Amino acid sequence: MSNKDIGYDTINLGHGSGGLMTRDLLDHIIFETFSNPYLDQKHDGSIIKVDGEMAISTDSFVVSPIFFKGGNIGELAVNGTVNDVAMCGANPKFLSLAFVVEEGLPMGDFIKIVKSIKETADRAGVQIITGDTKVVERGKGDKIFINTTGFGKVHPEAHISPYKIKAGDKIIISGPVAQHGMAIMSQRDGLEFESTIESDTTNLNFLVNDLLDGFGDKIHLFRDPTRGGLASVLSEIASDTELGISIKETEIPLDDQVAAACEILGLDPLFVANEGIFVTIVDAEVADAVLELMKKDKKGARAACIGEFTQEHPKKVVMHSVIGGKRMVTPMIGEQLPRIC
């Protein structure tokens, strides 16, 4: 598959027309890359056989730049939705894939993104079963936006709900914070700085599945701290319960280089977006065993218990800081860094 196969160096308005050019683009790039019995139906949609409880999640990805250290928009679009389905306690199996491409996107970039989507989907064990491609005029979009919607069967042992959380429950995070946001920021126009920080984008579904296999209904919640960062997610969870959250700053995994970059730019790493980590709220009695299991997996190697739920200060998140004080952790209000995912 190359630019030559479809005779155009860039994406053209005609590629979104629904006519022959669209068909060429689909046949030579999309169908060739993702071929599977569902997509090969080539209908307006796809038919799957399912049975029981299914989780469904949708996300649009508008990250800028579209290629960044540690990943690209295609990789993000697969992992992001795979992880959202996993956070429901489900095993993602199918994805829909919809592009809104700006006229003039180099065909090579489009092909690179499509290939990356295929590789990322294979790694996560999901299939692309239906899709759509639209093209907008130059200046009416920003290179490429991608929507993915994911489906997967809920794990038979999953009982995921904020209502299950009780005082004493432990809060475990699977890895270091703020990597994705700082990787994007280091490459953002006008903000570029030298760093080797890479996005943490990855699929978390297998690790989530292992936890549900091992601990079933002792796992009370999964949540991935993407936009808005860890602070926004913890605030949201606290507000969904009648309990408070108490966390220790010293326990939150954070790379030195990421911490330094945040400090230089005056950013709070708790507000910075993540793509490859999750928070889980577990019954205290299994917390150590959960940590042990997570640390055996590369994606949870740096997992840490960062705090617990408490009867005190209901609906509020309080952080015990490095220097011994306490501070209230509030959700982010406006926009710290737009177009992060």
What is the footprint of a copy of itself within residues 82-121 (CB under 8 A)? 84-85, 87-88, 90, 94, 96-100
Closer CB to a copy of itself, residue 202 or residue 336?
A: 336
Residues numbered 267-296 forming contacts with a copy of itself, rule: CB under 8 A = 271, 273
189 scored as a contact of a copy of itself (CB under 8 A) = no
Q: What is the largest CA-CA distance in the chain?
A: 67
Residues numbered 233-262 forming contacts with a copy of itself, rule: CB under 8 A = 236, 240
What's the token pair of residue 261? 């970059």
Q: Which of 272, 319, 102, 292 is nearest to 211 (CA)?
A: 292
Span from 185-193, 228-236, 256-264, 300-308 in contact with a copy of itself (CB under 8 A): 228-236
Q: Which of 329, 199, 179, 175 is nearest to 262 (CA)?
A: 179
Residues numbered 22-41 forming contacts with a copy of itself, rule: CB under 8 A = 22-23
Q: Would you say 341 and 80 are in contact if contact means Cβ atoms under 8 Å apart? A: yes
Among 10, 36, 60, 195, binds a copy of itself (CB under 8 A): 60
20 scored as a contact of a copy of itself (CB under 8 A) = yes
Span from 15-23, 188-196, 288-296, 317-325 in contact with a copy of itself (CB under 8 A): 15-23
Count, residues near a copy of itself per rule CB under 8 A: 82
Minimum Å gap between C-beta 221 and a copy of itself is: 9
In order, the DSSP letters of 257-271 are HHHHHHHHHT--GGG
* Residues 179-197 as b or e (16 or more Cβ within 10 Å = b): bbbbbbbbbbeeeeeebeb
Amino acid identity of residue 181, one-letter, is G
Among 9, 40, 122, 137, binds a copy of itself (CB under 8 A): 137
266 scored as a contact of a copy of itself (CB under 8 A) = no
Q: Would you say 183 and 117 are in contact if contact means Cβ atoms under 8 Å apart? A: no
Strands 279-282 and 67-68: unpaired
Task: Report cis status (omega within 30 of 0) of the bond before 162.
Answer: no
Minimum Å gap between C-beta 292 and a copy of itself is: 26
**Residue appearing with tokens 């946001």:** 181
Residues numbered 38-57 forming contacts with a copy of itself, rule: CB under 8 A = 42-57
